[in-house]
Amino acid sequence: MITYLEEAGQFQLDTPHASYVLTVADGFLLHTYWGKRIAPQDLSDLLRLGDPPFVPSKNERERASFMDCAPFEYPCAGTGDYREAAIGIENEDGACACNLRYISHRIYNGKYNPRCMPHTWGNGCETLDILLRDEPTGVEVTLHYTVFDGIDAIIRSVSLEHCGYRDVTLRRVLSASVDLDDDRFEMLSLYGSWARERQAERLPLRHGKQRLDSSRGESSHQYSPFFALVRPETTEQQGEAYGFTLIWSGDFMLQAELTQFCQTRAQIGMQTDDFSHAFSTESEFDAPEAVLVYSESGIGGMSRTFHKLFSDHLIRSDYRYIERPVLINNWEATYFHFDLEKLKTIADEAAKLGIELFVLDDGWFGRRDSDNCSLGDWTPDERKLPGGLKPLTDHITGRGMQFGLWFEPEMISPDSDLFRENPDFAVGIEGRPRTQSRAQYVLDYTRQDVRDAIWEQMKKILDSVPVSYIKWDMNRQLTEIPRAGFRRAYMLGVYQMLERLVTEYPDILLESCSGGGARFDAGMLYYSPQIWASDNTDAKDRLRIQYGASLFMPPSAIGSHVSVCPNHATGRVTPFETRANVAMFGTFGYELDVTQLSDAEKSQIPAQISRWHGISRLIRDGALWRLGNPFRPSGYAAQQNADFDAWIFVSADKSEAVFTYIQITAEANMKSRRILLAGLDSDADYAFTLCGCEDVKSGAYLMQCGVMIPNLGGDMQSVQTVLQKV
Ligand code: DGJ
């Protein structure tokens, strides 16, 4: 998978369909090629080293011109490259300069794992380490590149060792930078807000820098740590796409910079704006892993590569391979207003309908009748739950269901015993009032004693009642950052706590959450196989949120529930059946007061659960082919029809598939709509029932001629069908 052509000073990483090539020229490490696979050969012509200004050893007087146009693999600040740098090193006087030169390299089986951070894992991989050194400071930088068998992705990370004599400050350490010799790109990225996460946007690159970032202490609702550079002609199923994401849940930046010479510098890493890390001699530093995916089969091909990599080599939980229980969550059913009797009636009805896991959300601890208090006091509220959690868990397990519980372990309410006793536990700057958000402060997770104080309380609960599932929530962003480097250290503290939880309680199904989907990222996926995607459970809005999420995250990770109508977030009314079909693009569960449903709705639940169990393996292990696009024609989907959405999940051996179609808006005088399926075996025949009619058609027919869907008669009507190879 990795070759070194010594004479050309060239490294080549090959994946099934792509090659990634680097060259050492004049001691500089230069990016040479990334694209469709090519046989190993000398590609140094592509570097234009024969054009003026030439390499410095041939023309020292024009070093600055060389520095400002050469395609650096890991560009440095302060020595003539005025494009965005990947690394910035500041000395004690505040001078910032760096010039990394090649020292050595190593190719080996296995991989390097950044310390104390989530990372990809598994056998069947090969790694190239390239050691670079900035001579004046003595800082050594190792670039790590890993390729896994059969996957068109390159995992990059960066580790630093200070081998010099004087302490320095790291001003930035990005995880990946790639200089693409091309300007024919559009940038596909995700923006959003609370309850409107992951809206896809695709715009042409312009000269200058196009950047998305977060300095909120979380990957955020607003932007996701994902982007793709795609060709103007790239569609869902055809054309080139270069995808980037970060295995990190905190602050980040990503950027595409179109330069004076019409080259594109693509970068991703930890936030650079106010990054600062004191780097003393003999110390070490790691930047998170970045994942780079090349696809020549469109945006869909890129997504499927991310999904496969993350499913096979990132998610650690055994739930990756085993069936997850269908849950009911009481949040939208009761919010804070419940007591034991109310929960029991929901549980009784849910158990009767075949629901397998009851999740008790916020409001069960301290004196939490609203979001004004009690975070940090993780003892059951005896007013609502006399005798604690046990009578409830006995009742639930007695009905054959599992029990799940909500925590918000990183937070502290000003009105809590924990805060009254330990006001210093909350993040803040001395002499400055702390900013409240949702009436809460953030716990200083950089401190072991603070983490321990929460851990002991959680452990007490987990050891006293049978908890099979935890929802780990985080409902505010960080403010009043007490010192440089704090936000990175905070994230590492959260990861330590998550590590402790999944190590000591490996059987618990963990769902991470952040006020909906503010930490929907690959970093969290390492610990939690599913992540709550949004507080917006409206089926129509979910089409967009889930579409955006699936660009880089596996659908098996998308926390998705059926809730009541009118929807609490939008007031919209959609059919119960469609809400279920949309929630089946994800983890599938219910979040409603099942005792209040009509008999007609209730009667659909057992069938939905049994359908889900029939197809959940396809959603979890199959390949997703998006067949529609729920965005407005004026936005990302300019050439596509925004009035429907459709997708198909196909098993790895192509013997089985599940197809879902949503008619978003009905139109007057509407004809049937023809949808071309994808991902099937052309030569096989598939049996299926669509809109009440049984049929058998070849894969070729279904993919080239398609299926005809009649007007379903109204907005947000839907059909779902399983196709079986015959
Ligand atoms: C935000 C989550 O996204 C919701 O699902 C719910 O758990 C609330 N927090 C509880 O406060």
Render 628-672 in DSSP notation, one character per residue.
Answer: ---S-TTTTTTTS-TTEEEEEEE-TTSSEEEEEEEE-S--TTPPP
| Parts of the chain belonging to CATH 2.60.40.1180 | 625-725
- Average pLDDT (580-596) is 98
How does DSSP classify residue 596? Answer: G
Is there an atom of ligand 1 within 6 Å of 532 CB? yes
Atom number, ligand 1, closest to the C-alpha of residue 371: 11
- Average pLDDT (441-465) is 98
Strand, helix or coil at 246?
strand
- Average pLDDT (214-235) is 97
Is there an atom of ligand 1 within 6 Å of 404 CB? no
Confidence of residue 668 (pLDDT cuts 50, 70, 90): confident
Place of tokens 């059969």: 150
Q: Residue 581: phi, psi to the nearest 5?
A: -60, -35
Query: What CATH architecture applies to the domain 2-313?
Result: Distorted Sandwich (2.70)
Pocket mutation for ligand 1, best pick of 359, 475, 520, 558 (most atoms within 8 Å of C-beta): 475
Is there an atom of ligand 1 within 6 Å of 406 CB? yes
Confidence of residue 637 (pLDDT cuts 50, 70, 90): very low
Pocket mutation for ligand 1, best pick of 469, 473, 536 (most atoms within 8 Å of C-beta): 473
pLDDT at residue 342, as a whole number = 98
Atom number, ligand 1, closest to the C-alpha of residue 534: 3
pLDDT, the chain, mean? 96
Strand, helix or coil at 588?
coil
pLDDT at residue 669, as a whole number = 85
DSSP H stretches of helix in 509-564: 522-525, 539-550
User: What does the pLDDT look like over 69-116, one tens digit per residue?
Assistant: 999 999 999 999 999 999 999 999 999 999 999 999 999 999 999 999
Left if phi > 0, otherwise alpha if psi is -120 to 50, otherwise beta: which for 282? Answer: left
Confidence of residue 641 (pLDDT cuts 50, 70, 90): low
Determine whether 535 is an active site residue: yes
Segment (H or E) for 349: helix 340-353
Q: Is the pLDDT of residue 634 over 50?
A: no
Q: Do 287 and 491 form a contact (C-beta atoms < 8 A)?
A: no
User: What does the pLDDT look like over 390-412, one tens digit per residue?
Assistant: 999 999 999 999 999 999 999 99
Query: How far apart are the CA of 217 and the centre of ligand 1, in A?
Result: 18
Count of residues for the chain? 726
Q: Is the pLDDT of residue 316 over 90?
A: yes
Atom number, ligand 1, closest to the C-alpha of residue 516: 3
Segment (H or E) for 13: strand 10-14
Is there an atom of ligand 1 within 6 Å of 515 CB? yes
pLDDT at residue 670, as a whole number = 84
Query: How far apart are the CA of 507 and the centre of ligand 1, in A?
Result: 23
Count other C-beta atoms under 10 Å from residue 460's C-beta. Answer: 11
Determine whether 521 is an active site residue: no
Q: Is the pLDDT of residue 633 over 60?
A: no
Query: How far apart are the CA of 473 and the centre of ligand 1, in A?
Result: 7
Confidence of residue 632 (pLDDT cuts 50, 70, 90): low
Is there an atom of ligand 1 within 6 Å of 362 CB? yes
User: What does the pLDDT look like over 262-284, one tens digit per residue?
Assistant: 999 999 999 999 899 999 999 99
What percent of the chain has a predicted confidence (pLDDT) above 70? 98
pLDDT at residue 98, as a whole number = 96
pLDDT at residue 640, as a whole number = 46
Q: At what angle do helices 390-398 and 340-353 cross, to 10 degrees?
A: 20
625-725: CATH class:
mainly beta
| Parts of the chain belonging to CATH 2.70.98.60 | 2-313
Which structure tokens are listed for 188?
A: 């596909």
pLDDT at residue 328, as a whole number = 98
